[in-house]
Structure 1
Amino acid sequence: MAHIPVNHPARPVYRVLAGLIGLYIVVFGVFGIVETAGDDLFSRGSHWVLGLRTNLAFALASVVFGLVVLFGAAHRGNLGHLLNLTIGVVFLVVGIAMLTVLQTDANFLNFSMSTVIVSMLFGLVLLATGLYDKVGPPEGAEPEPEVRDNSGAHPGR
């Protein structure tokens, strides 16, 4: 069974990273809605916002996912841990899926290669945040095992 750290000391740093990602996604979505207002939902125009190509559907989805990421970063319980894990996987899967249809008519979210890269990076950071964001009672956190043997004797060598 995999070990997911409980009450990791770097937890606040990971929550700040997740919050910054969520804030970027919300700002990107709002600017994307403003930029693509009046276009079709799944248009394939060349609208660029904050370095990423977008359409109205992708901008709307970004606002929703950004708010969920912000909620997960602000939530101190295990719900934030589960949201970050889930959303991290969703970003990775969407990035891979959009990479496979990048130069086809199936690219309904109007992704570019830079959008795929950012989606993958955000997915990895959110996945790491979810892995280190688990909360438990202080007595439930297991101390890290001692790696070094201070006696100097190493059996089997």
Structure 2
Amino acid sequence: MKLRDELPVDHHLATVYRYGAGFCGLVLLLFAALGFADALSPFDTAGDTIAGMTTNVALSVISTVVGLALLVGAAIGGNVASTLNMTIGTLFVLSGFAHVFVLDRPANILDFGMTNVIFSFAMGLLIATFGMYGRVSSKLSHDNPYWRRRHPEQAAREREAAAAPAGPPEARALSAGKDTEDADRRRVLD
């Protein structure tokens, strides 16, 4: 099964994906703007801090690109924003793990400190949560489009049951084309 086959189109969950991507994109752009305003050299690891985190121009450029990508996803909305949020969130978490191992080493070209690592984990989980909202759970409600896509037979039965005419059980059974013993008995007596 492909991911695009699981995604419903034009659902109210799209606003969660859209606003989540927009909010996180703006936070990253703000951090990048503050980094550019300090005018550090591209790969400087002198330890200058902005908003409590160390930064350099390279990290500001990456933050700008990712922030703009999230804003584009927010503008497009829907399934694109959801998938983009999950992807970028995962990359943030992986970046946090990678930078834990390069702290205080020459390979730390983005000048990550421990606060950057914690921010990377927190922002990654926040972005991924916005992307997975309403998609990933063991207890999705039956009106959720992701649940309906994953359980097509049961969703079809529930739609048929909801569309069935109201009335006594015998009438519902007959209208659905299913005879019950009670319905047979009543026909014989009539």
TM-score (norm 2): 0.62
2:33 paired residue number:
30
Letter of the structure 1 residue corresponding to residue 77 of structure 2? R
1:63 paired residue number:
64
Question: 1:4-83, aligned counterparts within 5 Å?
Answer: 6=8, 11-37=14-40, 39=41, 41-83=42-84
**Greater Rg, structure 1 or structure 2?**
2
- Ranges in structure 2 where 5+ consecutive residues have no aligned partner: 136-142, 155-190
Partners in 1 of 2:134 and 2:88 — Cα distance? 14
1:152 paired residue number:
none
CA RMSD of aligned residues (A): 2.9
Partners in 2 of 1:126 and 1:58 — Cα distance? 18
> How far is the alpha carbon of 1:88 from its aligned partner?
0.8
Partners in 2 of 1:107 and 1:117 — Cα distance? 15
> How far is the alpha carbon of 1:133 from its aligned partner?
6.8
- Ranges in structure 1 where 5+ consecutive residues have no aligned partner: 146-157
1:125 paired residue number:
126
Partners in 1 of 2:26 and 2:91 — Cα distance? 18
| Identical columns (%) | 35
- 8 Å CA contact 1:11, 1:132 repeated in 2: no
Q: Of Structure 1 and Structure 2, which has the larger fraction of its residues in helix?
A: 2
Q: SS of the residue aligned with 2:49?
A: strand
Segments of 4+ moved more than 3 angstroms:
3-11
- 8 Å CA contact 2:11, 2:78 repeated in 1: no
User: Which protein has greater RCO, CA pairs closer than 8 Å, 6+ apart?
Assistant: 1
Q: How many residues align?
A: 138
